[in-house]
Amino acid sequence: MLGRVSLELLECSYITEYLRERRGLAGISDAQAQVLCQAVAGNPQVMGLIGDNLEQANKPAMADDEW
């Protein structure tokens, strides 16, 4: 049986908490968090994509492997 579940839009405080605490992006300022909340527009999928991208961008650069 298949069903459909709709999610409520996320509040900015939840988005900020997720990015800072769950994604290790504690350096996000309040002003940056507001911009990100506007970009996410409460959408959980968009929040995940932005979290993935920011987390990847903030990883320390590794030396290039020889391929």
Mean per-residue pLDDT for 46-61?
A: 89
- State the residue range of the domain holding 20: 12-55
* Mean predicted confidence (pLDDT) in 38-53: 94
Q: What angle do CA 60, 49, 4 make, to 5 degrees?
A: 150
Residue 67 belongs to a domain? no
Residue 47 burial class via C-beta count within 10 angstroms: exposed 0-12, middle 13-18, buried 19 and up: buried
Report, as an integer, the average pLDDT of 33-61.
92
45 pLDDT tier (thresholds 50, 70, 90): very high
Residue 42: exposure state from Cβ atoms within 10 A (0-12, 13-18, ≥19):
middle
Q: What is the pTM of this model?
A: 0.75
Q: What is the structure's pLDDT at 65?
A: 61
Residue 66 counted as domain residue: no
Q: Which of 22-26, 43-47, 58-62 has the lowest mean pLDDT?
A: 58-62
